[in-house]
């Protein structure tokens, strides 16, 4: 199942299939897509966290046994469904965090890469082992891994299938922080609280602007950034944020 728990403005989505290392079959991937689509439109969910049930795995990938039975059209639909999940995580107008509590392999690593931020437990293992199965990362990993790290490192992981530990992932910029396994969720919730205290409008526009950084036309993207910046001056949150600074107090953002 795909669990949903709400804590302090955060919606925690849990892939809960521990008997298969939280690998995603069609039922779970469809449920995940539905969940993410709901949360994208849910103003109460200020931050979305994606994690895995248990202590061993975040998501050990797409379900290999399910994929064995796919024909070409089935594989195409399968790829599109995974892309829909990745696109939701990457573009929903609020921060998304992957809490990597163990194996994040193949499709699991790809979903994590689609999130805005990644926190890893010290025992997390990341990688794109699809090459060992005679395929390639099909849910955006070949591109997002290169964007998150470097082209050369992405090629190394994708072409060799090598798995890396949390510390190497941190050195490479693949994750934002590493925590002890028992502290990962507390640290994730701490980050959620930090984010939930910001203006949700400013967060949404800031995410939209940063998402432009590695794509399209640079001049056009700069112009879009300027427009997004200007639009925030129509919000009460901008007035409040600047007033709070001038009055030496903490701002109280209302999302208006």
Which residues are the active-site residues? 110, 130
Taking residue 93's Cβ as centre, other Cβ atoms within 10 Å add up to 14
205 counts as binding ligand DAK under rule CB under 6 A: no
d(CA 15, CA 30): 12
Q: Provide, rounded to whole angstroms, the least separation between the CB of residue 44 and ligand DAK.
A: 31
Buried-state track 200-234, b at ≥16 Cβ within 10 A, e below 16: bbbbbbbbebeebeeeeeeeebeebbeebeeebee
Distance of CA 151 to the CA centre of its chain: 20
86 lines the binding site for ligand DAK (CB under 6 A): no
CA–CA distance, 102 with 106 (Å, rounded to integer):
13
Contact between 23 and ligand DAK by CB under 6 A: the answer reads: yes
By the rule CB under 6 A, 166 interacts with ligand DAK: no
> Tokens 């969940």 map to which residue?
35
**Under rule CB under 6 A, which residues in 123-162 are in contact with ligand DAK?**
129-130, 133, 135, 138-139
Query: Near ligand DAK by CB under 6 A, which window of 8-16, 99-107, 206-214, 218-226?
Result: 99-107
Choices 98-106, 180-188, 202-210, 224-232 (CB under 6 A): range interacting with ligand DAK:
98-106
- Min dist. Cβ of residue 184 to ligand DAK (A): 18
As a whole number of angstroms, the distance between CA 154 and CA 142 comes to 7
Nearer to ligand DAK, 40 or 133 (CB): 133
DSSP letter assigned to residue 133: G
58 binds ligand DAK (CB under 6 A): no
Residue numbers of the site for ligand DAK (CB under 6 A)? 20-21, 23, 60-65, 75, 78-79, 82, 103, 105-107, 129-130, 133, 135, 138-139
């Amino acid at each position: 199942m795909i669990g949903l728990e709400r804590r302090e403005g955060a919606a925690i989505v849990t892939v809960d299939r521990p008997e298969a290392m939280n690998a995603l079959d069609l039922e779970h991937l469809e449920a995940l897509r539905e969940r993410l689509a709901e949360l994208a439109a849910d103003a109460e969910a200020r931050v979305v966290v994606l994690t895995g049930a248990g202590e061993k795995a975040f998501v050990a990938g797409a379900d290999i046994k399910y994929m064995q039975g796919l024909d070409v059209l089935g594989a195409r639909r399968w790829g599109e469904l995974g892309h829909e999940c990745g696109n939701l995580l990457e573009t929903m107008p609020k921060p998304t965090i992957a809490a990597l509590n163990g194996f994040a392999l193949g499709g699991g690593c790809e979903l994590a890469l689609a999130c805005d931020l990644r926190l890893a437990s010290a025992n997390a293992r990341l990688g794109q082992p699809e090459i060992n199965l005679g395929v390639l990362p099909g849910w955006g990993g070949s591109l997002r891994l290169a964007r998150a790290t470097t082209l050369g490192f992405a090629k190394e992981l994708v072409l060799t299938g090598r798995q890396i530990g949390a510390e190497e992932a941190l050195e490479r910029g693949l994750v934002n922080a590493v925590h002890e396994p028992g502290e990962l969720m507390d640290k994730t919730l701490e980050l959620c609280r930090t984010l939930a205290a910001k203006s949700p409008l400013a967060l949404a526009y800031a995410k939209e602007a940063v998402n432009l950084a590695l794509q399209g036309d640079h001049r056009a993207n700069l112009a879009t950034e300027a427009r997004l910046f200007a639009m925030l001056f129509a919000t009460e949150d901008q007035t409040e944020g600047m007033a709070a600074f001038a009055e030496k107090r903490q701002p109280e953002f209302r999302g208006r």
